[in-house]
Structure 1
Amino acid sequence: MYILDVTTMSKPLEKFYPLAIAATALTVYSTSLGCDLVFDDVAAIQRNRDVRPSSPLLNLFLNDFWGTPLQKEQSHKSYRPITVFTFRLNYAVHGLQPFGYHVINVLLHALVCVLYYRLCLLFLPRVVSFVAAILFSVHPIHTEAVAGVVGRAELLSAVFFLSALSHYVRLKQRYDHVGWRCCAETAALAVCGTLCKEQCLTVLVVCFIYELLSTKVWKWVILGQGLVSPWIRKSLTRLGFLGLVALLVIALRLKLMGPYLPQFNRLGDRIN
């Protein structure tokens, strides 16, 4: 009796999984393309002078997400120059027409879903990763990040977060260790993501924890005469590098914020 092997049947389709995931994400969230600029979009785009080409590019690195100088007491202290720069590119192409802003958000969501699938592949079977990515792509929790244009900060941050983590884990699994180049590339992706939204810096903590958890027990044995094995020294050096980068970014972030704490105004005060 001939029994169909579902796993074997699915193999020819595996190369289409990323395309199917992206298509699903685009289809589900295409309904947001007709939305307007609402709520925080008004303050972040319509009333943000840094989005206009007439404003110097340097202001993106001196002002907060809403266009207020970081050193001012009234500043929200949200520092996301890369996200604001993407708004500026949108404005240069089509002004304040909301359609283009929403198109970029939906495309970024599709990219995030594919990157999530690639990350799952490092830990799960291909079919399971595909199902997880499909569920991720249609989950309603992403609605605010995708449909709201200011949610682009979360989308861009997720792109860099998933890219950094996948890069670190892939090389760790392949060679059982990562070199300085990988650490530098991971740190660079983390810093870029942090300039999109602050929480992306936590990817360095995730890599730090993964490095510890993926270490084989025998490699942590102390050698004779009180000497630490070369592998442990290299591992601790890499972990120290990631930790140092995180601390430097936090220190620079605090320096940019100035002496004042963030001022969180009511929504109506920002958009009215």
Structure 2
Amino acid sequence: MAKIALITGATSGIGAACADTFAAQGYDLILVARRENLLDTQAQQLNEKYGVKIKKLIADVRDKENINYVLDTLPGEWKNVDVLVNNAGLSQGLDPIDKGDTNDWDTMIDTNVKGLLYVTKVVSGWMVERKHGHIINIGSIAGKEVYPNGNVYCATKHAVDALSKGMRIDLLPHNIKVTQINPGMVETEFSIVRFKGDENRAKKVYDGLEPLIAQDIADAIWYVVSRPAHVNINDMLIMPTAQATGTIVKRD
């Protein structure tokens, strides 16, 4: 059987770009997403384009029972996951701490931290049994510094940073690589989700500069995964040329 990559948040943005990139390299795919219609279309297109096998999992990583069930009930041969891309994540709102929406906080913590943990616990167990695997956690510049009104989102991505370090230590005896990829400004659905569908406000985030695109991050992930067995890229911070920090950018 071909190598297998499991990708969460697979139907859009970085997740979709990763799915295409890994399929192009001959990987069979386990695609995890909430939107069944998008997942069906994506799987059909990737299969027709690359001829790879695809297992579709309709699940929300925040739902521990559901994600455990869909993973546990995979056929045995599909549990030989070589690469896990923990991509599912989001930001909700951009408010100071005293005006924050606690529902937004719950959504970010449940997705970015707890969802990542739920998936990793199951898949890392499979990898430990095989003494082989590579876990890619999608962090953020927000996990390296804190910016105004980013409070809880930044906290969740700082948690991903700490968890990536902890995973690397815990899984070292089992020959499992752990890499954190930290993008700066990437034009995906991210800002649309953050501003709850306000496309005009989301577009203004990237006014006057050329942001990264999802494929830039997928290319970096493939570079990391394709290193020799004795090489692990622990941590990678990727910014558009026009961005120096989380808040300092050059706009034309």
When normalised by structure 1's length, the TM-score is 0.27
Which structure is higher in strand share?
2
Larger C-alpha radius of gyration, 1 or 2? Answer: 1
Which structure is higher in helix share?
1
Higher normalized contact order (CA 8 Å, seq sep 6+, divided by chain length): 1
